[in-house]
Amino acid sequence: MKPIGRCRAHTNIALIKYWGKRNEELFLPMNSSLSLTLDAFYTDTSVTLDDTLSSDIFYLDDVLQGDKETLKITNFLNLFRTAANIETKCLVKSYNHVPTAAGLASSASAFSALAGAMNEATGLNLDLKTLSTFARQGSGSATRSIYGGLVEWHMGEDDISESSYAIPVDDATWDIGMIVIAVNTGQKKLSSRVGMKQTIETSPFYSSWVETATSDLTKMKDAIKEKDFITLGELTESNGMKMHATMLGAFPPISYWEPDSVKAIQAVKEIRETGIPCYVTMDAGPNVKVLCRQSDMKQIEEKLLNQFKPEQVIPTKVGSGIKVLSDSQWNY
């Protein structure tokens, strides 16, 4: 029997954003961040250690991937192979569960699921905190997808890889939900990695971004302790906008927005003005995510459907952390 590991990881949306690395090789961020794990979007991944293979093989949604994509996976698997002191090549099969209209194909769930599956296959048995430091080195935001609910990613110290990890902050079972407004689901033109670097190097607002993200995080953790949804929402919206303002200050300016992003933001503002608390955030793409109370979701959805098509309005509950899948739970 060849050793095999299978794992599910959900994607996450940052409420306090990560936008920039102080060490690109180790994926060490400029500031700590905080996210909400989402139930509706996830990746299932299996890894088989196979002595008969001469190189890693990577299938995504049953499509064999090329050299460039496979190299990223190989580099990531090498972290585990080094730790386990093995050289065995791997067959990796990944399935993304993202409503096709969402445009949220996420490296966060992908690398988190791969980390969980490889941890199983190698028998390394790393604890979740250590696993989050491994996931981080596939994609920064993946470090947070190890856990469910509200999750903090500690920026850590200096160039010390082990010091930068995620921890669960709150299970977020106090009436929290999110609605994704899918504006455009095409591939983004500028990767986060390149966008971050360009912002650090050229935006005069970058140091203020890091300062305010740090103080926003402190305030947000206080709001979470108090279960103060309004403050949580206000800080989420403010922090996301500040990240985008910092990008606009880059040279050349970076904008992921589209006309319908503005339309969605305006729609949410109008709903809020009717007395329903709901707040927007956006990432490295034009889609708008709405943080709201789960108990208000139906009402907000109905109002959004006046302006957007049903397939563009995707509600989701709070998601859980990584889950190892058994043979019988693997339905592919």
Point out which residues bind ligand 2P0 (CB under 6 A): 14, 17-19, 27, 33, 107, 139-141, 192-193, 283-284
Locate the DSSP E strands across 240-324: 278-282, 288-292, 313-316, 323-324
Nearest Cα to Cα of residue 94 among 75, 79, 116, 78: 116
Query: Least Å distance between CB 141 and ligand 2P0?
Result: 3
Query: Least Å distance between CB 197 and ligand 2P0?
Result: 9
Query: Least Å distance between CB 16 and ligand 2P0?
Result: 8
In this complex, which beta carbon is closest to ligand 2P0, that of residue 48 or of residue 203? Answer: 203
Query: Least Å distance between CB 283 and ligand 2P0?
Result: 4
In this complex, which beta carbon is closest to ligand 2P0, that of residue 12 or of residue 122? Answer: 12
Output phi, psi for 40, to 5 deg: -80, -15
Structure token pair of residue 137: 């080195």
Element (H, E) at 49: strand 33-50
Angle subtended by helix axes 229-248 and 192-202, to nearest 10: 70
In this complex, which beta carbon is closest to ligand 2P0, that of residue 214 or of residue 307? Answer: 214
Query: Least Å distance between CB 158 and ligand 2P0?
Result: 18
Give the residue nearest to ligand 2P0 (CB): 140
Query: Least Å distance between CB 51 and ligand 2P0?
Result: 31
In this complex, which beta carbon is closest to ligand 2P0, that of residue 88 or of residue 185? Answer: 185
The reply to whether omega before 252 is within 30° of 0 (cis) is yes
In this complex, which beta carbon is closest to ligand 2P0, that of residue 170 or of residue 283? Answer: 283
In this complex, which beta carbon is closest to ligand 2P0, that of residue 96 or of residue 141? Answer: 141
C-alpha 250/C-alpha 6 separation (Å) is: 41
SS3 256: coil
SS3 92: strand
